[in-house]
Structure 1
Amino acid sequence: MEKPAAPVEKLVDVREMSRILNVPVSWLYERTRLGTIPCIRIGKYVRFEPLEVLAFFRKQRAE
């Protein structure tokens, strides 16, 4: 019997992530271009795991 797959967090696009973070879309695109924010690239598309991005910024704030 196979083990059940781990739950997968829904990926969001740049617009949705900008709403979550309350930042401009252009700011988010710039950070992805610079590689300073965790993202997933699927061909020409950029997607984000919201919990991972929020954890990244919480860690930055703590340092």
Structure 2
Amino acid sequence: MTISKEELTVSRLTTWPRLLTPNELADLLSLSVKTLYSRAKAGTIPVVRIGSSIRFDPKKISLWIEEHAA
């Protein structure tokens, strides 16, 4: 039995974590969206780039918070 490319893609997409938008993460962290964009541009926060859009992986953000907690 072979798995088609479409089935493999759908399978991967359903197991991938949901990525957060800048607005969603800003609300969760009580930061401004502008601050998130600035940190993303500076490379000081983990980001996923999709074309010109940015998204945030919740697992990577959790690790980042733990590493940078004072």
Query: Which TM bucket (shorter chain)?
Result: 0.7 to 0.9
How high is the TM-score relative to the length of structure 2?
Answer: 0.73
Aligned residues: 61
The structure where helix makes up a greater share of residues is 2
Which aligned pairs between 1:1-63 and structure 2 lie closer than 5 A?
Answer: 7-61=15-69
Equivalent pairs: percent with the same residue? 31
CA distance in 2, matches of 1:14, 1:25: 6
Bigger relative contact order (CA 8 A; separation at least 6): 1
* Runs of 4+ more than 4 Å apart: none
Structure 2: give runs of 5+ residues left out of the alignment. 4-10
RMSD between aligned alpha carbons?
2.1
Structure 1: give runs of 5+ residues left out of the alignment. none
